[in-house]
C-alpha cells in the first residue's frame, strides 16, 4: 500500500515496514491520522503485486507485531492499484519467502486480531494475483 507520498520506491516501503509510518507519511491524511472515513472505508493506492524488494524489510521484523490494512475490494493493475480498506489488524510476522513466481510468494503471521483477515485472504486468492497471506492461529 502507498501510505503518504505516492512513492513506490522499495526503500520507502522497506522503511515503513521496519520503522513504521512517520509524521511525513501521515501528513497526507486529515488530522495526520490514517483512519476509516464515515462510510467505514479508506481508499489507498498500492501495487497489486508483491515485490521481492520488500523481503529484506519483512525479514528484519520476523517475530515482531505490525498492523496491516485489510481490504475488501481493489481495482487497477501494477502500481496503479486502488484498495478499499475496511479495517486494520494486528499480526506477528513469523516468516517470509518472496522468491520465484507470484504463486510462490508468501508471508506468515499469527494471531490476527480481526477475523476479516480470513475472508480478505480468501477473496484475494480468488480474485487477485496469486499471492497469499498465510495464518497460523493457535
Q: What is the pLDDT of residues 54-86, one digit of tens each?
A: 888 999 999 999 888 999 888 888 778 899 999
Q: pLDDT tens-digit profile of 91-103?
A: 888 888 776 555 5
- Is the whole model's pTM more than 0.75, yes or no? no
For residues 16 and 133, which has the higher predicted lDDT (pLDDT)?
A: 16
Angle, CA 91 vertex, CA 19 and CA 69 arms, to 5°:
75
Cell of 35: 483512519
Place 124 in a pLDDT band, splitting at 50, 70 and 90: very low
Q: pLDDT tens-digit profile of 25-47?
A: 999 999 999 899 999 999 998 88
What pLDDT does 54 receive? 85
Burial tier of 125 (Cβ tally within 10 Å: 0-12, 13-18, 19+): middle
Amino acid at each position: 500500500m502507498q501510505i503518504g507520498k505516492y512513492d513506490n520506491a522499495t526503500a520507502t516501503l522497506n522503511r515503513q515496514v521496519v520503522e513504521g509510518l512517520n509524521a511525513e507519511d501521515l501528513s497526507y491524511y486529515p488530522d495526520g491520522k490514517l483512519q476509516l472515513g464515515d462510510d467505514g472505508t479508506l481508499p489507498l493506492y498500492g501495487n497489486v503485486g508483491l515485490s521481492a524488494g520488500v523481503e529484506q524489510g519483512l525479514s528484519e521484523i520476523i517475530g515482531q507485531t505490525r498492523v496491516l490494512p485489510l481490504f475488501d475490494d481493489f481495482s487497477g493493475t501494477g502500481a496503479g492499484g486502488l484498495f478499499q480498506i475496511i479495517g486494520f489488524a494486528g499480526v506477528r510476522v513469523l516468516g517470509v519467502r518472496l522468491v520465484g513466481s507470484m504463486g510462490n510468494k508468501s508471508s506468515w503471521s499469527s494471531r490476527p486480531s480481526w477475523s476479516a483477515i480470513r475472508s480478505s485472504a480468501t477473496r484475494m486468492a480468488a480474485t487477485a494475483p496469486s499471492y497469499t497471506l498465510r495464518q497460523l492461529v493457535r
